[in-house]
Amino acid sequence: MKKSLLLVLLSFISFLAVAQIPANDNCATAQNLGTLPTPAACPSGVGANVNVAGTTIGATAPNPYTTLLNCQTGGNQPGPALDVWYSFVASGNMVVINITPGAPALPNPAITLWTGTCGNLVGFNCSNNGTAAGANTVTFQPTAPGQTYFIQISGMTAAAAGNFNLSVHAENDCNNCLQNASLSISPTPTNGTYPPNTTVNFCFTITSYTQVSANWLHGVIPTFGCGWDLPTMTFTPATSCSANGSWSWFPGGCTSSANASVWGPGFYYDYTAAPGNPGNNFGDYNASGICTWTFCWKLKTKPTCAPGCTNLNISINTTGDGESGSWTSIACLGDPNYPFAAVMSCCSSSAIATNAPCFNGVGTGSATPVTGTGPYTYTWTSAPVQNTQIANNLPAGTYTVSVKDNNGCISTSNITVTQPASINPAFTLPTPTQCLNGNSYSFVAATPGGVHSYTFNPVAGSPAAG
């Protein structure tokens, strides 16, 4: 009876179940998938899958939270959102990432790919077309073998969470002319962002280019998001591989004499035999197949933030001379653009927590815009989601608030609501115990906060000893 009595009494004590934060909750603790299995030789070019199970249940949003713009699937990266991270080393010129639902499923999973290092992440691209059932498959290219990449997985809202299965494999696109390239940036972005009036140096290096249908490398054409101050740009062209001409920046672009297609400003190969008109020239012949080209440019972000113009993305297209020059056997049309993704940081905010006064109680959170343009909107990762500056009724746990200013700039802050330890009473019962015949029986429970009296009402006729 003593054991039964204690179990009944302890059933009055309740505990708050808080989901455990995943080990790969942030970039610094990303789950390492290692070097992806090497793709099979062409024409297959497909590598074996690396498979893991994952969850965003209990995850938090990074602070600050960077939302990449213009995902390859359309729209922008969702944010802030509860996310988890993975890393891998590429072994092919493309990577295929597949998410299938777990139970309960993460609805509308979003996938973002980064390079660089944690704290100085460089946006590569994103996919936000996951299904409500919890599936998403995306191919990112071109990736550089030997380079480390980070995968960020989240839902589409500030509170969406669930389980998923992740499958990643490398491939080689055997039909591309551009087989391997890399982009170096200095300084690298801070969490995917640059402040206004920042000078950034870029160098795009091509280390493997296959001359499909005798298409020689002819153009390297970067296009820029509206957050860049293009009049500040300076250029350093690559050195000629064949010495039959030279690389130059042509601000007016060029028109192909072979197919009349028009191309924008970029680096083009200007053949010595017909200088000044790259559209009427062949490309840079790579006789040995081992040439390396490096194209550099330097420019600033705009001096101030303009509404709706924080996009710092750069997309780098490469063309063969059958596309933008005078060669009549066109190829290389399927070569992917090399992406760079970043946004201008134009706002900031802070947040503080008021802790719960007792175990299983609730606290509050308060957000404060620091820089930006009002009015502001607020989104808390509470359940349900709250959209006020002060969030109420927050059980113990970690929360993220997203503050969006009138120009669409988003900043995030994290808070942690704590609670006192639960009372764990130690019950003292008289010896021997006696049958109470349904009468009330007083006992004493010693707790960390003092000595308290409790009353236990047994069922009439139940034994008092045993």
Q: Which helix (H) or strand (E) holds 427?
A: strand 426-428
Q: Is the pLDDT of residue 190 over 90?
A: no
Q: How many residues does the chain have?
A: 466
Share of the chain above pLDDT 70, in %: 86
Kindly report which listed range (168-172, 254-258, 273-277) carries the lowest average pLDDT score.
273-277
Q: Is the pLDDT of residue 432 over 90?
A: no
In terms of CATH architecture, what is 27-171?
Sandwich (2.60)
What does the pLDDT read at residue 456?
56
Kindly report which listed range (18-32, 373-387, 441-455) carries the lowest average pLDDT score.
441-455
- Asked, colleague to colleague, whether 27-171 and 178-344 share their fold, the answer is no
C-alpha–C-alpha distance, residues 80 and 78, integer Å: 6
pLDDT band at 453 (very low <50, low <70, confident <90, very high): low
Which residue ranges make up each domain of the chain? 27-171, 178-344, 351-417
| Residue pointed to by tokens 């996310």 | 83
Q: How many C-beta atoms surround the C-beta of residue 383 within 10 A? A: 13
As a whole number of Å, the end-to-end CA separation of the chain is 5
The residue type at 451: V
What does the pLDDT read at residue 61?
84
What does the pLDDT read at residue 400?
82
pLDDT tens-digit map of 275-319: 889 999 999 999 888 899 999 999 999 998 887 788 999 999 999
CATH domain 178-344 topology = Immunoglobulin-like (2.60.40)
Q: Is the pLDDT of residue 414 over 90?
A: no
* More confidently predicted of 462 and 47: 47
Mean pLDDT of 168-192: 92
Mean pLDDT of 38-62: 94
pLDDT band at 13 (very low <50, low <70, confident <90, very high): very low
Q: Is the pLDDT of residue 389 over 80?
A: yes
Q: Is the pLDDT of residue 172 over 70?
A: yes
pLDDT tens-digit map of 324-351: 999 999 999 989 999 999 998 888 788 9
Q: What is the CA radius of gyration of the chain?
A: 30
| Residue pointed to by tokens 């992440």 | 121
